[in-house]
Every structure is written in C-alpha cells, then in structure tokens.
Amino acid sequence: MVKSLLCVPTIALVVQGLFFSVDGAEDLKVKTSFAVEEKLRIEQARKYAERGLVDLAIPELKKTIELYPNDIEAHAYLGWVYSQKGLVSDAARELQKVLDMNPDLQKSPFDYPMSKVIPSSVHEFTKSFEGMIDLVNGFSGAHEILGLCYVMQGRLGDALNEYKKVLGLESCFVRKGFAADCKKTISMIDQAIREYEDDLRERPDYVEAYLKLACAYVEKGALDAAVENIKKVISLEPDRLEARVCLGCFYAKKWMLDEAIKELEEAKQLRGRIIEKLITEAERFIHDGMFDNAISVTREVVNIDAGNKKALWLLAMAYGKKGEMDEAGNVCKEAVGLYPDDVQAYVLLGWIYAQHELFANAMNLAEQAIRIEPEDTDVRALMANIYASQNQVREAIETYNIINNRTSEKNNIGTDYGWVRGNVSSVDQKLREVLDILEMKPDYPEAYLCLGWLYWKNGEAEKAIDAFRKAIELMPDSYKAHLYLGNVYVQKGEIKDAFTEYNKVLEIVSKKAQDNMSLGLEFVKKGDPGQAINYFNEVLRVDPECEEAYKLLADAYEKKGLYGVGMALRLQVERFKPGVND
C-alpha cells in the first residue's frame, strides 16, 4: 500500500511533464502554422501584385505590415501597387520606409521578380523621358509616370524623388485647378476646363489654352481628350517642344509606350534643330556686339537643354564681353561643375580671377587645367601672365618656352582674352581724369602708363597696347611698361610679342640691378652701410632672385649691428644651394 502511495506523485509528475511536453508541441505547432500562413499571405499578395490585381494585393500587404512593421518586402510591394493605382502620396510613404530600412537601395535596384520581365519599351521610354522631362518640369503627370517606370525597374530612390516632385507640385495645380483626389478639387478642374473651352470658342487658335486644357484633362483622367487637345497645339505650332514631350507623356500614361517613344524621338530631333539655330544666332550676336541678345538666346538654349556645353560657353562670353564678369564667372563655375574636363571654362574663369588680381585662385585653376590638358597653349599663357603679374618674369619666360617647344610655328597663338575686365572702381571716371592730364601734359610718361593699365583692366586691350607703347617711347627703360605690355599681349594670345617684352624686362632689370649693385659696393668701400643697404634693397626689388645682393645686404646690416636681419637674409641665400628646393 505504501509503495502504491509513493508511486502516485511520481506518476503524476510524469503525466504532468507529459502534459507540459504536449502543450509545448502544440504551441510550436501554432507558431509554425502562423508563420506559414503569413508567408503564404505575402506570397499571395506578390502574385496579386504581379498580375495587376492591386485591390486584392493591398489588404493582404496591409495585414502583413500590421503584424510585421519592419517587413521590407511588404512595404516595397505595397509601394508598387500604390504606384500602379496612382496613389502617389501612399506610394511615396511606403518607398520612404523601404529606403529608411535599407539606404543602400538608393543606389541599387530592389529585386522585384516581375521587374525582370517588364517590356524593354519601359526601359527605352524611361531613358528617353529622363532626357526630356525638364521641358515639362511643372507638370506633375510627367513626374508620376516616370516615377512609376522607376518603381517597375526597382529604382526606388529615383521613384521617390519623382513622387516628391509630384507632391510638391500639387498645391500649384490646386491653385490652377489642375489637381485631383477630392470633390472640391475635381470641381475646380471642371471649372478650369469650362473656362479654357470658353476661351477657345472665342479664340480658336489660342495655343496656351489648348496646352492648359490638355493638362487639365490629364488630371481629370480623360486621357483621350488630353491627347486630342495636345495634338491641336502641335498642329498650330509644330516647333512647340513641350507639346511633343507632353504628347509622349500622355501616350505613356495610356501605356502606349511605342507611340510615346516615337514622340520623344521627334522631340529630341526637334530640340537639336532648335538648339543649332539658337547657337548660330548667339554666335552672330556676340560677333556683332549685341550681347543682351546673345544672353537672351543662350538662356533659351539652357532652358531646353540645361547642360549644353556650347551654350554655357557662349553665355559666359556674352556676359563677359558685356562687362558682367561676376555673371560670366558664375556660368564658368557651373560649366566646370558639369564638365570637370572642360579646359576652356577653367581658362576663362582663370583670366577673370587674374584680372581681379586673385592670382592664387587663378593659378589653382590653371594647375587643374594643365593636369587635364598638359599641351594646352591657353593654359600656359594664363600661367605666364600670372607669373609676370607677380614680378616672376623668369618663370613667365620658362612657361613661354614650354609653349614654344610644344606647339608648331603656325599654332603659336593663343585665344584672345583681351576683353576680360578687372575690377577697378569708377574706372570710367579715372580714365577721364588721366586723359585730362594728358591734354595738359601730352608727354607725361607716367600718365600713359596709368592710362594703359586702366584700359587693360577695362578689357580694352588695343587701347592699352597703344598707351603702353607711348609710355615706352617716352620712357624706354621703364620695366613696368614692358611688363604690362607683355601681360596684355599674353592675354590677347600674342605670345611671341609677350615673350619679346618679358625679355626686355629682364634686360632692364639686369642693367638696373648691376647699376645699383655697383653703387652699393661703392658705399660699402666708403664705409657707409646705410646708403649701401638702400642700393642693395633696390637690386632685390627689381630682381628678387639675386643671390649676391642677399649676401651683400646681410653684410651691410651686420656692419650696422643688425645681426638678426643679417641671419634672415643669409637664410634666403640657402635657397639658392643645389637640391634645397628639389
């Protein structure tokens, strides 16, 4: 009996354990079943989405997300189906969640299985439309269809960017009566349509009304009416670029991609013809000195082809020749940003900086350009000018020799940048003042030197050359006159003439240095280190690379007991030893 009683707890424990084991198995079974059910749900939702059964897919995907808020696949597919339905704000919300969970998808496509079997026409249309959408940037329907194409290719970051543009444009359409999604707005669209149709009854050839009416019909979902009205625009104005692009967009929204691609190709060819014509006009306007017209025309080109390199160059030229150097510089910076290998833009911007005496900025640009195109004559000419402007005439001549060694005789001419202006306040007033002085004193050489410098900074190279030549005639040993004249020649691209002037500078400087060196030595012999210092300083003012002058100047200062100055000067002498600057 006791044994039986002792066995009862044991049996109970075994049974209890068995019950626990059975309960655990049941719990695991439920969980497994639940997971399988959810997996089946997402698989079913994917199939619905792939087959275009979006209204069946949406509730299944929503249920999955309620249970698993971080299920990236469910959010991606929900973004897909919302895009298919045209629910842009909902699609944007889901795509944003996907990208928040996996930022790498900004650059790499999401792996939708159905994206592998979408028609090639989707890719072709997308590529064509990307290059043309700027022409209809204010039309939300264009960004919506491009966003949908991006979603279909798994390009979720690009799609989100387009959907954000759509949402940003909605308020604009509401004001104009061009939006949808609520009764009040729909009535505004209907009102807008009636108003445009009234306008067209009074003015049957009113192109703008047809264009706006077509866009209003798109927002209402009446695509056939939209196509009909945009075709009327094209019949009235065959060269209306945005109408061609809109028609391509409308066809795409009707999923007539072959027709859409054809219209975009027509628009591309039309744009090319229009740009060619405008570029020719701009060049003619610049040649004729009609710079405002040139700016207006090149702006038209940029409006239809924002990155057109030739248009940007002509725009910079037009601004520069008009004297608006800041605007010219801004256009050059834009061109350099778009085309990092565009040496022409670097050089013009470099000349603008040089004329504003921002020599460090100018040299930085020249060095970047020379790395891109080591053989470019214009870059070397710019560098020579920068060196000479900072009294580094030997370096300027060395740079010229590089140009001379790398170019043929007939090509030894650079581009004319003599029109580039500097930044001299009240330059016109100062020119009048100098000319007044020359009326009273027609043989005043310093006045001609000043006059030439003002003309040069004012972008009037030929007048500057005449003034400097007159200064040289009256003052043949003026190294400044030869230096400035050389700088103008370089800027005009007349490099050989510049080289001649720079060599004259060296001759004059060398002679002056020799004369001052002799005078300095005479005063050293007389025991007058103070006067010797003046002459040795004058040597170094005109020839900063004269090693002997540094030594003699150091000796003179030390004779006056200024050993600290002497030490600093002797340190400069060390620079001339072989290998120190290598």
CATH number at residue 160: 1.25.40.10
Residue 556 lies in a domain: no
The answer, yes or no, to whether residue 79 has pLDDT greater than 70, is yes
pLDDT at 406: 59
Predicted confidence at residue 178, as pLDDT, reads 37
Same domain, 504 and 388: yes
Examine the domain organization and report whether 263 and 379 are in the same domain: no
pLDDT given at position 5? 39
Of the candidates 218, 240, 272, which is a domain's last residue?
272
Asked if residue 279 is part of any domain, the answer here is no
Residue 579 pLDDT grade (very low, low, confident, very high; cuts 50, 70, 90):
low
Same domain, 495 and 352: yes
Q: What is the mean pLDDT of residues 197-206?
A: 91
- Convert the pLDDT of each residue in 400-411 to its tens digit: 888 776 554 444
CA 463 to chain centre: 36
Q: How far is CA 414 from the centre of its chain?
A: 26
pLDDT at 3: 42
Q: Give the pLDDT of residue 35.
A: 57
Number of folded domains that form the chain: 2
- Average predicted confidence (pLDDT) for the chain: 86
In a domain, 322, yes or no: no
474-501: pLDDT as tens digits: 999 898 999 999 999 999 999 889 999 9
CA dist 175 and 304 (Å) reads 26
Same domain, 189 and 264: yes
Q: Are residues 472 and 358 in the same domain?
A: yes
Q: Is residue 41 part of a domain?
A: no
The verdict on 379 and 462 lying in the same domain is yes
| Confidence at residue 12, expressed as pLDDT on a 0 to 100 scale | 44
Same domain as 462, residue 381: yes
Q: Given pLDDT bands bounded at 50, 70 and 90, which one contains residue 44?
A: confident
Which residue has tokens 């400069």? 572
The answer to whether position 277 is within a domain reads no
How far is residue 510 from each of residues 151, 504, 515, measured CA to CA in Å? 73, 10, 9
pLDDT of residue 38: 67
Asked if 266 and 358 sit in the same domain, the reply is no
Co-location of 266 and 346 in the same domain: no
Type of residue at 262 = K
Higher pLDDT, 383 or 170: 383
Q: Within 10 Å of residue 374's Cβ, how many Cβ atoms?
A: 11
Least confident stretch, 334-343, 374-383, 412-421:
412-421
Percent of the chain with pLDDT over 90: 56
pTM for the full predicted model: 0.72
**134 within domain boundaries:** yes
Residues 267 and 352 occupy one common structural domain: no
Domain boundary among 253, 272, 291: 272
Within a domain: 78: no
Q: Which of 272, 305, 320 is the last residue of a domain?
A: 272
Same domain, 240 and 384: no
Instruction: Give the domain range for residue 447.
Output: 339-509
Q: Is residue 321 part of a domain?
A: no
